[in-house]
Amino acid sequence: MGMTMTQKILAAHAGLETVTAGQLIEADLDLVLGNDITSPVAIHEMDKMKVDGVFHKDKIALVLDHFVPNKDIKSAQHCKCVREFACKHDITNYFDVGEMGIEHALLPEKGLTVAGDVIIGADSHTCTYGALGAFSTGVGSTDMAAGMATGKAWFKVPSAIKFNIVGKPAKWVSGKDVILHIIGMIGVDGALYKSMEFTGEGIQYLSMDDRFTIANMAIEAGGKNGIFPVDDVAKAYMQEHSKRPYTVYEADEDAEYEEEYTIDLSTLKPTVAFPHLPENTKTIDKVGDIAIDQVVIGSCTNGRLEDLRIAASVLAGKKVKKGVRVIVIPATQQIYLDAMEAGYIRTFIEAGAIVSTPTCGPCLGGYMGILAENERCISTTNRNFVGRMGHVDSEIYLASPAVAAASAITGKISSPDEI
């Protein structure tokens, strides 16, 4: 029996000719990632190990992005811990204020993730890099510590689900709508510890930003990872952003998949996930009359330049409805600059939104947009669990930048076609 893309990457990094689903392996790592919340825990675990340094100072990335600039004393202490560790071990890829961005947008932009890599990160959305044909997955801080010390990690080889993407999407249908549709279809545990492998002729209509969004939210279906084939679009992105060599792996024709689904992009509509799970989806025409208090456009899911371009195109010449708070968060400093040069920042401010420095902030209920009791937010983030963005009696609705921007204007969840 042949192997899937994920299985081929893991076999190569384990020094094995073949692997099968369920097999336990030890694989070499190309990158270990941590942020200002998860890294301090890993650093303290490394201290217990009494190891002499890190396995490779160029293959560790430390990104301060959740509470930076620091929101309080505790977050400042966490960041100080990471700063001191990065300095002590001369970590090459350390990103602090002025250089930082939301980690899962920043690392591909910096060329640190390429096809064929094995990447672990102490953040659940590390699966983002599968958009470039890498195996990337989230781990706990203890596994991050072991990875930083040894350059290796244990994995159970995942089985796979194949998603055959066909058709061409309509104007307002984006990667966010694709992945919300899939999660709504299979559920939040529909791909539990499985590799979500995307293929098909319809992928040509998905931009890199669409693919990053889809891979990013594989974890919201329970997936171990999400992964895309390395086509000309992915190769062009890597050539623009990275000087590192990459390796293209392709699934065997007789690769085994536990399930197969066909997703026809031409039939999809803008999709919204209602509280309190990403699987609780409705298409925009079935949403009803849902008034909102806040809009968040940003995050590791939808804070890239294309996301801001789409939001700006909806908001241009319009005004945010009185009483609605709109927070726009470019995912990196470079995206912020590019959006400024393109005029998007002016568009947001003139419409009545605010623009934040790159941060995860409101997504995890950290800061820069906490919800009060009974408030509703439509957000381009990735999770809408109870209390995720603030008070346990608040509500989060997940949607694309287009729907979020349109909703900012009307004050209720709306399609851009209604503007």
- What is residue 418's predicted lDDT score, i.e. its pLDDT? 85
Q: For position 124, what pLDDT does the model report?
A: 95
Q: List strands edge to edge, sheet with 159-166.
A: 225-227, 194-199, 159-166, 259-264
- Indicate the residue among 263, 287, 315 that finishes a domain: 263
Which among 263, 294, 310 is the end of a domain? Answer: 263
Q: Are residues 283 and 211 in the same domain?
A: no
How many Å apart are CA 20 and CA 156, to the nearest integer? 9
- Position of tokens 């002499």? 52
Q: Is residue 229 located within the same domain as residue 307?
A: no
Torsion of CA 312, 313, 319, 323, to 10 degrees: -60
Q: Do residues 210 and 289 share a domain?
A: no
Residues 161, 259 contacting (CB under 8 angstroms): yes
Helical axes 232-241 vs 208-216, angle rounded to 10°? 90
Give residue 51's pLDDT: 86
Residue 162: CATH number of its domain: 3.30.499.10
- Same domain membership, residue 151 and residue 57: yes
Spell 220-259 as b/e; 16+ CB within 10 A means b. bbbbbbbbbbbeebbbebbeebbeeebeebebeeebbbee
Q: Are residues 255 and 344 in the same domain?
A: no
Q: How far apart are the first and last CA of the chain?
A: 52
- Do residue 18 and residue 93 come from a single domain? yes
DSSP-derived secondary structure letter, 21: T
Which residues are paired to 297 by β-bridges?
Answer: 328
What local confidence, expressed as pLDDT, does residue 348 receive? Answer: 98
Q: Taking Cα atoms as reference points, which of 300, 317, 295, 324 lies closest to residue 402?
A: 295
**Among 199, 233, 263, which residue terminates a domain?**
263
Residues of the chain with confidence (pLDDT) below 50: none
Residue 60: φ, ψ to 5°: -125, 135
Shared domain for 204 and 322, answered yes or no, is no
| Distance from C-alpha of 290 to C-alpha of 164, rounded to nearest angstrom | 33
Biggest CA-to-CA distance, the chain: 62
| DSSP class of 33 | E
Domain holding 380, by residue range, is: 271-418
136 shares a domain with 84: yes
Predicted TM-score (pTM) of the model is: 0.95
Regarding whether 244 and 306 lie in a shared domain, the answer is: no
Q: At what angle do helices 175-186 and 208-216 cross, to 10 degrees?
A: 30
Identify whether the C-beta of residue 332 lies closer than 8 Å to the C-beta of residue 358: yes
Q: Do 290 and 213 reside in the same domain of the chain?
A: no
Q: How many domains does the chain have?
A: 2
**Tell me, what's the pLDDT at 183?**
98
> Could you give the C-alpha distances from 343 to 205, 302, 350, 390, in angstroms and in order?
26, 18, 11, 32
Q: Do both 324 and 247 map to the same domain?
A: no
Number of residues assigned to the chain: 419
H helices present in 89-207, as ranges: 103-109, 141-150, 175-186
Whether 270 contacts 400, CB under 8 Å: yes
**In Å, what is the CA distance from 214 to each residue of 82, 131, 179, 193?**
30, 8, 5, 17
Does residue 173 share a domain with residue 259? yes
